[in-house]
Protein backbone atom coordinates (compact mmCIF):
# COMPACT_ATOMS: atom_id res chain seq x y z
CA UNK A 1 0.00 0.00 0.00
CA UNK A 2 1.30 3.42 -0.99
CA UNK A 3 0.26 6.59 0.80
CA UNK A 4 0.45 9.69 -1.39
CA UNK A 5 0.31 13.01 0.47
CA UNK A 6 -0.35 15.90 -1.89
CA UNK A 7 -0.06 19.66 -1.45
CA UNK A 8 -0.36 22.67 -3.71
CA UNK A 9 -0.02 26.42 -3.69
CA UNK A 10 -0.15 29.43 -5.95
CA UNK A 11 2.28 32.34 -5.82
CA UNK A 12 0.30 35.17 -7.38
CA UNK A 13 3.22 37.61 -7.29
CA UNK A 14 5.14 35.55 -9.86
CA UNK A 15 2.04 33.91 -11.45
CA UNK A 16 3.23 30.38 -10.66
CA UNK A 17 1.57 27.35 -9.11
CA UNK A 18 3.47 24.70 -7.21
CA UNK A 19 2.80 21.10 -6.24
CA UNK A 20 4.40 18.75 -3.73
CA UNK A 21 4.14 15.03 -3.05
CA UNK A 22 5.40 12.78 -0.29
CA UNK A 23 5.12 9.13 -1.32
CA UNK A 24 5.28 6.54 1.47
CA UNK A 25 5.87 2.93 0.39
CA UNK A 26 4.69 -0.20 2.11
CA UNK A 27 8.04 -0.70 3.80
CA UNK A 28 7.96 2.81 5.27
CA UNK A 29 10.42 4.29 2.77
CA UNK A 30 9.50 7.72 1.46
CA UNK A 31 10.28 9.94 -1.49
CA UNK A 32 9.58 13.60 -2.12
CA UNK A 33 8.71 15.22 -5.45
CA UNK A 34 7.70 18.73 -6.43
CA UNK A 35 7.36 21.05 -9.37
CA UNK A 36 5.79 24.22 -10.64
CA UNK A 37 3.88 25.55 -13.61
CA UNK A 38 3.66 29.14 -14.79
CA UNK A 39 0.13 30.54 -14.70
CA UNK A 40 -1.29 27.52 -12.83
CA UNK A 41 -3.91 27.79 -10.11
CA UNK A 42 -3.93 25.96 -6.79
CA UNK A 43 -6.76 23.63 -7.93
CA UNK A 44 -4.75 22.67 -11.01
CA UNK A 45 -1.64 22.06 -8.92
CA UNK A 46 -3.42 19.78 -6.44
CA UNK A 47 -4.48 17.63 -9.38
CA UNK A 48 -0.95 17.72 -10.80
CA UNK A 49 0.36 16.55 -7.41
CA UNK A 50 -2.05 13.59 -7.43
CA UNK A 51 -1.08 12.68 -11.01
CA UNK A 52 2.65 12.96 -10.32
CA UNK A 53 2.42 11.00 -7.07
CA UNK A 54 0.33 8.19 -8.52
CA UNK A 55 2.58 7.97 -11.59
CA UNK A 56 5.45 6.97 -9.28
CA UNK A 57 3.60 3.77 -8.24
CA UNK A 58 3.41 0.44 -10.03
CA UNK A 59 0.41 -0.75 -11.96
CA UNK A 60 -1.81 -3.04 -9.89
CA UNK A 61 -0.75 -1.58 -6.57
CA UNK A 62 -2.98 -0.26 -3.82
CA UNK A 63 -2.66 3.47 -3.19
CA UNK A 64 -4.31 6.03 -0.99
CA UNK A 65 -4.22 9.72 -1.95
CA UNK A 66 -4.36 11.91 1.16
CA UNK A 67 -5.19 15.60 0.92
CA UNK A 68 -6.80 18.49 2.73
CA UNK A 69 -8.45 19.49 -0.55
CA UNK A 70 -12.08 18.38 -0.50
CA UNK A 71 -12.54 18.96 -4.23
CA UNK A 72 -9.78 16.49 -5.05
CA UNK A 73 -11.11 13.83 -2.70
CA UNK A 74 -14.70 14.28 -3.88
CA UNK A 75 -13.63 14.31 -7.54
CA UNK A 76 -11.77 11.03 -7.14
CA UNK A 77 -14.77 9.42 -5.46
CA UNK A 78 -17.44 10.93 -7.76
CA UNK A 79 -16.65 12.17 -11.28
CA UNK A 80 -19.80 14.34 -11.21
CA UNK A 81 -17.97 16.63 -8.76
CA UNK A 82 -15.30 17.60 -11.31
CA UNK A 83 -15.52 21.16 -12.61
CA UNK A 84 -12.28 22.12 -14.37
CA UNK A 85 -8.86 20.86 -15.44
CA UNK A 86 -10.34 18.01 -17.42
CA UNK A 87 -6.94 17.19 -18.96
CA UNK A 88 -5.49 16.39 -15.55
CA UNK A 89 -8.61 14.49 -14.47
CA UNK A 90 -8.20 12.35 -17.61
CA UNK A 91 -4.56 11.64 -16.72
CA UNK A 92 -5.54 10.76 -13.15
CA UNK A 93 -8.36 8.49 -14.38
CA UNK A 94 -5.90 6.71 -16.68
CA UNK A 95 -3.50 6.07 -13.79
CA UNK A 96 -6.31 5.01 -11.45
CA UNK A 97 -7.66 2.52 -13.99
CA UNK A 98 -4.58 0.32 -13.50
CA UNK A 99 -4.29 0.72 -9.71
CA UNK A 100 -6.54 0.25 -6.67
CA UNK A 101 -6.93 3.86 -5.51
CA UNK A 102 -8.94 5.54 -2.82
CA UNK A 103 -8.82 9.07 -1.53
CA UNK A 104 -9.03 10.35 2.01
CA UNK A 105 -9.52 13.84 3.38
CA UNK A 106 -7.14 14.72 6.20
CA UNK A 107 -6.90 18.10 7.89
CA UNK A 108 -3.43 17.69 9.39
CA UNK A 109 -0.56 15.27 9.15
CA UNK A 110 3.23 15.49 9.24
CA UNK A 111 3.61 14.36 5.63
CA UNK A 112 0.76 16.57 4.40
CA UNK A 113 2.59 19.57 5.89
CA UNK A 114 5.77 18.42 4.18
CA UNK A 115 3.97 18.14 0.81
CA UNK A 116 2.65 21.68 1.22
CA UNK A 117 6.15 22.99 2.00
CA UNK A 118 7.48 21.25 -1.11
CA UNK A 119 4.79 23.01 -3.16
CA UNK A 120 5.77 26.40 -1.71
CA UNK A 121 9.45 25.70 -2.38
CA UNK A 122 8.64 24.89 -6.02
CA UNK A 123 7.20 28.37 -6.56
CA UNK A 124 10.34 30.08 -5.32
CA UNK A 125 12.37 28.98 -8.33
The answer to whether the beta carbons of residues 76 and 93 sit under 8 Å apart is no
Strand 100-105 with 2-11, pairing: unpaired
> Can you give the pLDDT at residue 28?
78
> Can you give the pLDDT at residue 125?
59
Mean pLDDT of the 11-21 span: 94
Domains contained in the chain, number:
1
Domain that includes residue 83, residue range: 2-122
> Can you give the pLDDT at residue 59?
96
CATH number at residue 15: 3.30.420.10
- Could you report the per-residue pLDDT of 73-106, keeping only the tens digit for each? 999 998 888 889 999 999 999 999 999 999 999 9
| Dihedral angle over CA of 42, 113, 122, 56, nearest 10 | -90
25 contacts: CB under 8 Å, gap ≥ 6: 2, 31
- Could you report the per-residue pLDDT of 40-69, keeping only the tens digit for each? 999 999 999 999 999 999 999 999 999 999
Question: How far is 92 from 114, CA to CA, in rounded Å?
Answer: 22
> Can you give the pLDDT at residue 83?
82
Amino acid sequence: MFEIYVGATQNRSINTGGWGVVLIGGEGQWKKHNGSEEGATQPRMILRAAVEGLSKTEQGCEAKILSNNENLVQGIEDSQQRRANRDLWAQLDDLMSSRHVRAEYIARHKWLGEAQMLAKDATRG
